[in-house]
Amino acid sequence: MAMSKKEAILNAAIDLFAEKGFSATATSAIAKTAGVAEGLIFHYFQSKNGILAHILIDMLGNYIEGAKNEISSNRTGLEAIENFILFHFRFSKKKSKEVVVLTRDFPTDLLQPGSVYREEITARLNLSLNLVKNCLKKGQKDGSIQKVPIEKTAFIIQGMLIGALHLKLKMPNTPEMSLIATEILNFCRRSLAAKS
């Protein structure tokens, strides 16, 4: 069951974007790596940006789907948040290349007004934030989480998770990601858990 040429292009693009960055990767290099004619890239993805958008949208879709599963079956909202955090880092490890692409090259121009990809991307970003919000709400209902402003706290948690990936990318000589993950768990639990 051979990989389709479209998939080959995507895989090559992910590899190269992760390794050298989006703008330092030429479409000719993608074609060469994928073993296809350069023109085929544009047949499938319209533009170089189109490849990136496809990768990002795909990945955000997976992220949201995975996170949704993860938090669906928890007894308490706090547990849900904890599992969200753990999922975030599991996902980042599993899809490490894609995450590097997203982290370093999330292209602001894909989000600019007029971009055809804008809506699809922002919709997914909002979905993710909503998942966190829902966990927090649940936790406040079930008493596992203390009284915190939902929207801002969700923003902070999501930002913290993203920020860890960014900082790690720029400072590799820092504690291993799995240790950071556990510690973020502690950090958030201390901040959120209802006082006994």
Partner DNA sequence: CATGAATGAGAATTCATTCAT
Partner DNA sequence: TATGAATGAATTCTCATTCAT
Residues lying near a second copy in the complex (CB under 8 A) are found at 20-21, 23-24, 104, 106-109, 111, 122, 125-126, 129, 146, 148-149, 151-153, 155-156, 158-164, 166-171, 174-175, 179-180, 183-184, 186-188, 190-192
Contact 95, 18 (CB under 8 A): no
Helix, strand, coil content of the chain in percent (nearest 5): 75, 0, 20
CA dihedral 139, 81, 121, 178 (to 10 degrees): 170
Question: Among DNA, a second copy, none, what binds residue 38 when CB lies within 5 to 8 Å by partner kind?
Answer: DNA
**25 binds, options DNA, a second copy, none, Cβ within 5 to 8 A by partner type:** DNA
Residue among 194, 189, 84 nearest 144 (CA) = 194
Q: Which residue among 3, 7, 21, 39 contacts DNA (CB under 7 A)? A: 39
Within 8 A by CB and 6+ apart from 31, the residues are 9, 12, 37, 38, 40, 41
Q: In whole angstroms, what is the distance from residue 157 CA to residue 154 CA?
A: 5
The piece of 4-12, 52-60, 76-84, 92-100 that touches DNA (CB under 7 A) is 4-12
- Pair of tokens at residue 77: 């909202």
Contact status: 116 vs DNA (CB under 7 A): no
Total of residues contacting DNA (CB under 7 A): 22
Nearer to DNA, 23 or 178 (CB): 23
Residues that bind DNA (CB under 7 A): 4-6, 23-28, 36-44, 46-49
